[in-house]
Amino acid sequence: MIDIEGLERKAGTYRLEVERAQIQRGLNLIVGANGAGKTTLMELLTTLRSPDAGNIRYQGRKAADDLPLVRSQIGYVPANIELYGDMKTGKLLRYLAELKGVYSREAVNRFIRDFRLEPYQRTKVKKLSQGIQRRIAVVQALLASPAFLFLDEPLNGMDAEERKFLITYLAHYAKGGRTVVVAAHELNEWEEAADYVTWLHLGSIRYYGPVRTWKLCVPSSVWEAEVSREQFEEIEERKLIHFQMSPGGITVRQMGHTAPGPEYQEKEPTLEDAFFLHLDALEESRF
């Protein structure tokens, strides 16, 4: 578990401020609009940056007091990681493993097999697709089996099969008593895997806790219907959550306290629905 207390960090035009929060063991999502402070928070949690004020404790250990020990328990996949492009995949991973104190060749080979990197062991990293490079980036973070694993937009560049595999893998990894923290943009892909969610808005944490509670405490309802193009054009943009073309017209999901029309059916909110509902209520309260 990670305990955050009195955390402050200036980031661009705003200040990240977290009075108190906990990140539990399990799979945690950090969600928020662009510029909310997700990457800044990730950089603080991974000790890449130091806070201007406040403390972060990892299983009771304060990062400022036990930095080398804390860092030895952290794995990190930044959104834009730079790998050694001229090195071959197998050699790179074995080199990085040794830097992390992992000298078992079989341990490295197990990750190579698990992430289906065997065909690329003798290929230079820079010649591989973005999705395969992303897999390598995840493996380098896992090599020492860290107790705390942080991933910033880990699905970027991956195809559908790779995305599904990684989500399943991370969910399984988290169930081993580890703390996995993912900054995510496409929330519905994590629907079945995530245990907890932390919602950031303009540098402040507005919610942290179980995913189920996040979805149950939404301030309004979600409604779905198939509508004509004419009906679709009349929908207020801020109430529209999602739409998709369908054989009979356009299938829409929108928010509201009551059904927008007789054809609408109430639906259980998804993770993405909940985000838009909470965000809409927050912005509405400002006026």
Q: Which regions of the chain carry the CATH code 3.40.50.300?
A: 2-215
Q: Report the pLDDT value the prediction gives residue 185, as an integer from 0 to 100.
A: 86
SS3 of the chain: the string is CEEEEEEEEEECCEEEEEEEEEECCEEEEEECCCCCCHHHHHHHHCCCCCCCEEEEEECCEECCCCHHHHHHCEEEECCCCCCCCCCEHHHHHHHHHHHCCCCCHHHHHHHHHHCCCHHHCCCEHHHCCHHHHHHHHHHHHHCCCCCEEEEECCCCCCCHHHHHHHHHHHHHHHCCCCEEEEECCCCHHHCCCCCEEEEEECCEEEEEEEHHHHHHCCCCEEEEEEECHHHHHCCCHHHEEEEEEECCEEEEEEEECCCCCCCCEEECCCHHHHHHHHHHHHHHHCC
Q: Report the pLDDT value the prediction gives residue 283, as an integer from 0 to 100.
A: 74
Q: Report the pLDDT value the prediction gives residue 285, as an integer from 0 to 100.
A: 64
pTM of the model: 0.91
Q: Report the pLDDT value the prediction gives residue 286, as an integer from 0 to 100.
A: 60
CATH superfamily of 2-215: P-loop containing nucleotide triphosphate hydrolases (3.40.50.300)
Q: Report the pLDDT value the prediction gives residue 287, as an integer from 0 to 100.
A: 46
User: Each residue's pLDDT tens digit in the chain (287 positions)?
Assistant: 899 999 999 877 778 999 999 999 999 999 998 888 899 999 999 999 999 999 999 999 998 888 999 999 999 999 888 888 899 999 999 999 999 999 889 999 999 999 999 999 999 999 999 999 999 999 999 999 999 999 999 999 899 999 999 999 999 999 999 999 999 988 989 999 999 999 999 889 999 999 999 998 888 899 999 999 989 999 988 889 889 988 888 999 999 899 999 999 999 999 999 998 898 888 776 64
